[in-house]
Chain A
């Protein structure tokens, strides 16, 4: 039970959603956009968040976008991770979302919630960073479509009141060899010690990581087609981190770095051997 009252809004359009958000804000209320609600409910129950209103985005058509127009793939913000996982439309995204929380939670947790929530791992972001995805964001004036790397890479945030409607990406990224490896401290289900996603784009390695630093990010692309040992490539990647390796109760910085090195080495070796996924 959430031990206080709040209002529940179910807008039919993104304009209604954004309008009511700003109206409530102007009224000194504290509204939250609501997708799956798993994070909001669990935090509200213990008093970590206290919204006066939640704005449920599940009826907004753009937030339910799903499929392809032949060239691009579309994933609405209100799609559950289970829907994305089961679809296999973008296999790397299916694999990564299939390792977030447990299966039943994936039936409630939404793509938008994972991208915009407060839990800093945002593992669904990794495959989208690698595919140069476009994020469609509604604000009070319009929908803006911008590269997701420009908005959410390295702890980027939305402007308050902005609403993620969907992400889109070129369909060709669904055909590249891919890999995703998630390591946890102990259990199969849990927050990542490191979570690494990779695409092999014609001999160029695209790699993104979550939990290695305090935010998810994409490394600079590099070639792995030469004869260098895989670990040399990994060390080059580590030399260009955006911030020091994370150290917390899940794992020390040295341990996380060790796990990342072995994980990235395995991915590179797998790509060199013609592997398509891990």
Chain B
């Protein structure tokens, strides 16, 4: 049985690379990504699981990193927005101007990327239910929806 007590060095697999970092069990994945690893593309929003700005992928599924202990990340494949550079979803967001201030954009891109990995041809209900996890205060929802829909295989 693994026991982690106090500050401990653990190894993460983030964006395909191994990273050693010192954590305590009370550290969330969000603060370790930003403060220890400098991966500041993951944004701090509500820190209560409501806004989705801190979303990352864990084993391909979207997870709000404010609601995940860093120690839970051991042995899991973690992807942050820095790992999705030049992906079709990122390009679609740029092409459809699916952002204004951009603060929520990394979280939305993570969710959209995962959605299309798991459902290459999602129906409207699936798109809506996945995207409801994130909040955009600039209300760019129509443009975000258009960006996602542009990547649906049957529409290509």
Q: Which residues of B contact A (CB under 8 A)?
A: 1-6, 24-28, 31, 47-49, 52, 55, 58, 61-64, 66-69, 71-72, 111, 118, 129-130, 132-134
Contacts and interface: CB of A to CB of B under 8 A. Distances in A.
Nearest to B5: A7
B64 A7 contact: no
A214 interface: no
Interface of A: 1-12, 16, 20, 36-38, 41-42, 44-45, 54, 56, 58, 80, 82, 86, 98, 101-105, 107-108, 188-189
A5 B28 CA distance: 12
Nearest to B6: A5
Nearest to B23: A8
Contact of B63 (A7, A11, A104): A104
Contacts of B49: 38, 42, 101, 105
A12 B2 CA distance: 8
A6 to B, nearest CB: 6
DSSP class of B's interface residues: helix, strand, loop or mixed? mixed
A103 B71 CA distance: 23
A119 to B, nearest CB: 13
B26 to A, nearest CB: 4
A6 B61 CA distance: 27
29 contacts: A1-B31, A2-B28, A6-B25, A6-B26, A7-B4, A8-B2, A8-B25, A8-B69, A10-B2, A10-B4, A11-B1, A16-B1, A37-B69, A37-B72, A41-B67, A54-B25, A56-B72, A82-B61, A102-B52, A103-B62, A103-B130, A104-B64, A104-B134, A105-B49, A105-B64, A105-B67, A107-B58, A108-B68, A188-B132
Given A8-B3, A9-B1, A42-B49, A105 B133 contact: yes
Given A37-B72, A189-B132, 19 more contacts: A1-B26, A6-B26, A8-B25, A9-B2, A10-B4, A36-B67, A41-B69, A58-B72, A82-B61, A86-B118, A102-B52, A103-B133, A104-B62, A104-B130, A104-B133, A104-B134, A105-B133, A107-B58, A108-B63
Contacts of A6: 25-26
Contacts of A36: 67
Nearest to A20: B1
B129 A103 contact: yes
Nearest to B57: A107
Nearest to A101: B49
B3 A7 contact: yes
A105 B48 CA distance: 11
A13 to B, nearest CB: 8
Given A10-B2, A104-B52, A104-B62, A38 B67 contact: yes
A6 B27 CA distance: 10
A37 B27 CA distance: 13
A203 to B, nearest CB: 30
A102 B128 CA distance: 11
Contacts of B47: 45
Contact of A107 (B61, B66, B134): B61
Nearest to B52: A104
Contacts of A7: 3-5, 25
A108 B63 CA distance: 7
A3 B26 contact: yes
A9 B71 CA distance: 10
Contacts of B64: 104-105, 108
Contacts of A58: 72
Contacts of B2: 8-10
Contacts of A80: 61
A97 B37 CA distance: 34
